[in-house]
Amino acid sequence: MGGQTNQVLGSTPTGTATPEVIDLTMEDALARALKYNLALTEGDENVREQRAERLRALSQLLPQVNVRPSVSEQQVNLAAFGFSGFPGVPSVVGPFTVYDARASLSQSLLNIRNLRNHRAAREDVTAAEFMARDVREQVTLVATGLYLQAISGSVRLEAQTAQVSTAEAAYRQAADRRAAGTVPGIDVLRAQVEWQAEQQRLIYYEGEFEKQKLSLARAIGLPPGQQFRLADDMKYERQSAGLTIESTLQQAYQSRADYRAAEALVRAAELAKSAARAGRYPSASLDANYGVIGPALNSMHGSFAVTGAVDIPIFQGGRVQADVESAEAVLRRRRAELEDLRGRIDAEVRTAFIDLRASSRQVAVAVENVDLAKQQLQQARDRFAAGVTNNLEVVQAQQAVALANENYIAALYTSNVAKATLARARGDAEQSIKDFLRRVK
């Protein structure tokens, strides 16, 4: 699992970094991720490997045709085979030359084991194709999350820049009033400490934002060193009220590619077990060849052979039973994995609904808290300017605004991620997120 996670966060960077700063929308980021992400490359290669295995299994059912021209120089010691002492028959024959040009055909007429192995290989290909589709869903979710994280970092940076400006203005106000002799020095010191604390937070957010952009660039395959700006902002859209857990679960079991891949793997394991049992069954084959043979190229004559055979297993030393037990173990494992995945999908859908409900309520509360915190700050600054109180209220109000902004950004990020996670849980993240981007433009 960890290796797969690292692949989703990686990519195959393409192109050369340009000196100008490019604009990057979320739609652009998704398009690049679905083209250059490393996990997609690995998924495509897995499909190719399974198709190769299917062709290998198919080759056991198709005729094998070969052409073999040959020339040989031979000398035979007849005495070694008991032919000696016959009048007129030399004990050593040759050397003599034999020319032979021959086509041969070998065909399995009936082999139930090979037939079922081929069907199992087809199910393995189906599973690999569904897994590749599931990787696209994972890549879509990861790229969306990284872009949303970067947007949150950008908004957080803007909010913190405003906080620094506010803290600086409060410091200037306190310094002016200190110069006028209307407030003690502690007010100036308190305002300066708050100003510097806000500057420290700004420096921290700047670093975090750059790292978030770097993670996004790595996942979508941007050229190393390419500078870009986020062209989209924080968006919020209420989830459809008609969506229920039951309908979402029903859609997930029908649409999720990983679930359908697990079902295909169970079918492949069932066929593999059936193929192992078929090792006890008789099989029929046909071997034929035709060619020309002779001691010289100008004195060759046609010859052929046709052999039909039926192989009836009598005793195989427990090999078939071992194959059956091994296939049975794989089948039990695949069925357990399918049931585990079904339970995991149920948990993922329910968790996404919980997160979605909670984050939607958090967004509503956070919006109101931001407005209230700004009003509180304005009133505190007015009270301080009027000499009603010291600037402790101003500093506390500044911190309340900072906390309210942070809560709003976090709630909005959580809400958007919850929507993307729900889309992933029901198996249509790629299409749902693209539709969402079109609606909010």
The string of pLDDT tens digits covering residues 68-109 is 999 999 998 888 887 776 777 788 888 889 999 999 999 999
What is the per-residue pLDDT for 259?
95
3-state secondary structure of 390: coil
What is the per-residue pLDDT for 16?
86
Give me the residues of the chain with pLDDT under 70, please: 1-5, 85, 235-242, 436-441
* Residue type, position 124, single letter: D
Which residue, 38, 48, 56, 57, is CA-closest to 125? 48
What is the per-residue pLDDT for 321?
92
Cβ contact 334:266 at 8 Å:
yes
What is the per-residue pLDDT for 2?
44
In the chain, what are the helix, strand and coil shares in percent, each to the nearest 5?
A: 65, 15, 20
What is the per-residue pLDDT for 388?
79
pLDDT tens sequence across 159-194: 899 889 988 988 998 898 888 888 889 989 998 998
Which residue, 29, 58, 87, 60, is CA-closest to 230? 29
Cβ contact 265:127 at 8 Å:
yes
Nearest-angstrom CA–CA distance, 265 and 271: 10
Cβ contact 363:408 at 8 Å:
yes
**pTM exceeds 0.85:** no
Element (H, E) at 300: none
3-state secondary structure of 240: coil
Return all residues near 113 (Cβ < 8 A) that are at least 6 apart. 275, 276, 278, 279, 281, 283
